[in-house]
Amino acid sequence: MKKLKIIFCISLCCIFLFSGFYSQAQSEMKVPFIGAQVFIEPGQTPDEIDSWFRIMKENNFTVCRIRMFESYMKNADGSWDFNLFDHAFQSAEKHGIKVFGTIFPYTEKTDIGGFKFPRDEAHLQSIALFIKELTTHFSKFESLYGWVLINEPGVGGKIPWTDYTKNKFTEWKLKNQQKEFTDKGYPILVELTDQAFLLDYNTWFLNWISSEIKKYDPNHELHVNNHQIFQNCAEYNFPEWCKFLTSLGGSAHAAWHFGYFTRQQYAVAMLANSEIVRSGAGNLPWIMTELQGGNNTYSGGIPMCPTQEEIAQWLWIVTATEGKGSIFWSLNPRSSGIEAGEWALLDFQNKPSDRMKAASKVALTINQNKELIENLKVVESGINVLYVRQSLWAESKMTDGLSKTYEARSAGAVMKSALGYFEAITQMGINANFKAFEEFDFGKSDYSGSTIILAHQISLPDSYALILEDFVKKGGKLIVDGLTAFFDENLHNTMKTGFAFENLFGGNISEFKMVGNIFQVQWDNYAVPAHLWRGYISGKSGKSAATHEGETIALRNKLGKGEVLWIPSLIGLGCRISNDNTALFKLLNAELKQRLAENAPVRFKVPQKDMLMRTLKSGSNYVTVIISKSEKPISLDLDFKGKISDARIVYANKSGKVKGSNILISPEETMVIEWK
């Protein structure tokens, strides 16, 4: 009994120790930080390494990330030499910089991003040994802040089928038995089991790494940065990850990750990326672990160099989505390899670039307004654009090998349709959430004021019908667009196998007809652009909201305290392709008028095509972050519903001015305004 009491006391102390550290980590993250990757490699001198940390301190950077290369630590005889990285951690301590250490086990020299899964059991054990040696050595440094489990998990749906992975898949299938027929008796001919396995496989490997770290270092933060979010989000199970992480991160390199956007749209791309990660983090803090710091010459998908204005825009967007930090890739350029001489904030003479100076000014502004900014909370409009991972899986299967003649028949249409609505709502000056379906809170007793938008989410599990019905009956509004629910989770056409959403949507589809790249959906006294397919509805309980040649093409269905608007044409994607949201603004304003009156304390009086605004609250005051992507100065009015407040410009990197509710903003300018 005495031994049991001792064991219990020790366990209790460990719990308090970890929870105490976690509280400390949360506290340290209250004020958003700015930092950069310090790239450490052989050939660098201690003085050179020290100079980088000194430069960071001089420019208000407080956090760095270091890629912990096993190949630069392990000798041929199996011994370990940490000397090179010790210099970095010692310099970090000297200059007051906290370090995120990215675990980077041995990999091929040409592998710039690192492997995502173990090759075999021997490889897994070698990773475990590296984690043991790494964590036991570096956890003694006061400068260590936390561990990044792996660099950028995610393989774009393409599973590396090694023998080890095949064995894991076999194990997974034993626990997740697949049916040959559905409960309705229909054969399952196309399987999505590989993607469902990948979802769990990613989670298993990350959890395994976190468990190995905790064996030797239970006291430091655990973090991971997803990447290529608009393509890879279907293989990320953020709610499960958050069970073993202490913060969630992301990579948002314009040159790598923003292929669905033009350069002028990179600000809204950053916003959408940030919103997805914010949602995934749930109650944990989130960080943008990688932002593009400099020119990419021969690496990356799109060659570019961020402007100093874009750097400021991205930093304030992360802050305006409650991000607790931004870390640039990178401070100094690496000397060898595919990315040699690229991506850096410093020039080749180790002088801060205009980009680093711009970041330094943002960091200084944050430090000068700590109380205001540490308490920033996004003002929730109640609008939620949801993506469904089964839809992304289905699209990948159905579009594989198709000629890319139309957007809707190419991979990406599901995400771009959702982005079409997100971008339009943003141009209205209104906040919108961007969430995975399972991240939405369906457990409330009242959804009055809440809206869900499902834009061309082509595959919905039948079980989602009752979940969404409950949401609508409790006062929620559901807007459905495109071929949403065309397939169930087994890629059966739902219109032929028993439409689970008939009661919710108020009818069924009679047929879809291919029309053309852009056609018009007549709505009241205006027309809304749509793409490729027009859906015709066989109404049941719903009432016709729009017709074409006498047939219903939009349906409104009342259910309990809420309603559903169903438009089975791709208007989100059509407006995005047309680069004209004028009609979509009218439609959204009409459909959301009452809800926005209650939930949007400030918005643009007139929608602004080339503007972005986020509204936050700090204490009793509102804060707006406004970014102009216009090529000319813009004068715009904000709608405060008649309650104009005194304004204080917290940050403006050009000649922006505020007079009453009028904003004068220069091209590419970012303004942060506190309204008292």
**Residue 665's domain is classified under what CATH number?**
2.60.40.1180
Calculate Rg over the CA atoms of the chain: 26
378 domain residue, yes or no: no
Angstrom distance (rounded) from CA 407 to CA 331: 38
642 domain residue, yes or no: yes
User: Quick one: angle between helices 193-216 and 121-138, nearest 10?
Assistant: 40
Whether 567 and 654 share a structural domain: no
Q: Which ranges of 497-612 does DSSP label H, i.e. alpha helix?
A: 502-505, 571-578, 582-599
Whether 588 and 615 share a structural domain: no
| Residue 574 DSSP class | H
405 domain residue, yes or no: yes
Whether 548 and 659 share a structural domain: no
Rounded (10°) CA dihedral 266, 310, 369, 600: -30
Task: Summarize pLDDT for 384-408 with one digit per residue, the tens.
Answer: 999 999 999 999 999 999 988 999 9
Domain edge (last residue) among 545, 571, 599: 599
Q: Tell me what the mean pLDDT of segment 516-541 comes to.
A: 97
28 domain residue, yes or no: no
Alpha carbon separation from 138 to 24, 39, 370 (Å, rounded):
19, 17, 31
Q: Tell me what the mean pLDDT of segment 145-162 comes to.
A: 96
384: Cβ contacts below 8 Å, ≥ 6 apart: 432, 433, 435, 440, 450, 451, 452, 453
Average pLDDT over the chain reads 94
Q: Tell me what the mean pLDDT of segment 248-259 comes to.
A: 97
Q: Which ranges of 218-353 does DSSP label H, i.e. alpha helix?
A: 229-232, 238-241, 254-257, 266-281, 308-319
Above 60 in pLDDT, residue 454?
A: yes
Whether 527 and 627 share a structural domain: no
276 with 252: CB under 8 angstroms?
Answer: no
Whether 657 and 640 share a structural domain: yes
Angstrom distance (rounded) from CA 468 to CA 237: 21
pLDDT at residue 29, as a whole number? 64
Q: Give the pLDDT band of residue 1 (cuts 50, 70, 90).
A: very low
Above 50 in pLDDT, residue 345?
A: yes
**Residue 208's domain is classified under what CATH number?**
3.20.20.80
> Which tokens belong to 590?
């009409």
**Residue 406's domain is classified under what CATH number?**
3.40.50.880
Q: Give the pLDDT band of residue 28 (cuts 50, 70, 90).
A: low
Q: Tell me what the mean pLDDT of segment 18-43 comes to.
A: 73
Whether 241 and 347 share a structural domain: yes
Candidate from 108-112, 276-280, 424-428, 443-447 with smallest mean pLDDT: 108-112
The pTM assigned to this predicted structure is 0.95
Task: Summarize pLDDT for 415-449 with one digit per residue, the tens.
Answer: 999 999 999 999 999 999 999 999 999 999 999 99
At 249, is the secondary structure helix, strand, or coil?
A: strand
Task: Summarize pLDDT for 294-341 with one digit per residue, the tens.
Answer: 999 999 999 999 999 999 999 999 999 999 999 999 999 999 999 999
Number of domains composing the chain: 3
376 domain residue, yes or no: no
Whether 351 and 463 share a structural domain: no
CA nearest 476: which of 443, 427, 507?
A: 443
Whether 412 and 555 share a structural domain: yes
What pairs with residue 627 in β-bridges? 612, 670
pLDDT at residue 186, as a whole number? 86
Domain edge (last residue) among 548, 568, 599: 599
15 domain residue, yes or no: no
- What DSSP assignment string belongs to 129-182? HHHHHHHHHHTT-TTEEEEEEEES---TT-----HHHHHHHHHHHHHSPPPSB-
> Which tokens belong to 155?
């393989």
658 domain residue, yes or no: yes
pLDDT at residue 14, as a whole number? 42
Domain range for 624: 603-675
Alpha carbon separation from 545 to 160, 279, 456, 506 (Å, rounded):
48, 33, 19, 12
CA nearest 98: which of 148, 150, 43?
A: 148
377 domain residue, yes or no: no
Whether 135 and 95 share a structural domain: yes
How far does the chain reach from its first CA to its final CA, in angstroms? 62
Above 70 in pLDDT, residue 22?
A: no
Above 60 in pLDDT, residue 575?
A: yes
Whether 401 and 451 share a structural domain: yes
Task: Summarize pLDDT for 83-95 with one digit per residue, the tens.
Answer: 999 999 999 999 9
Q: Parallel, antiparallel, or unpaired: how do β-strands 247-252 and 221-226 relate?
A: parallel
Whether 609 and 594 share a structural domain: no
Angstrom distance (rounded) from CA 377 to CA 325: 15
Cis previous bond, 620, omega within 30 = no
pLDDT at residue 634, as a whole number? 97
CA nearest 287: which of 326, 344, 233?
A: 326
Domain edge (last residue) among 343, 368, 393: 368
Give me the phi and psi of 336, to 5 degrees please.
Answer: -140, 165
Angstrom distance (rounded) from CA 621 to CA 173: 53
Percent over 70 (pLDDT), the chain: 96
Whether 421 and 443 share a structural domain: yes
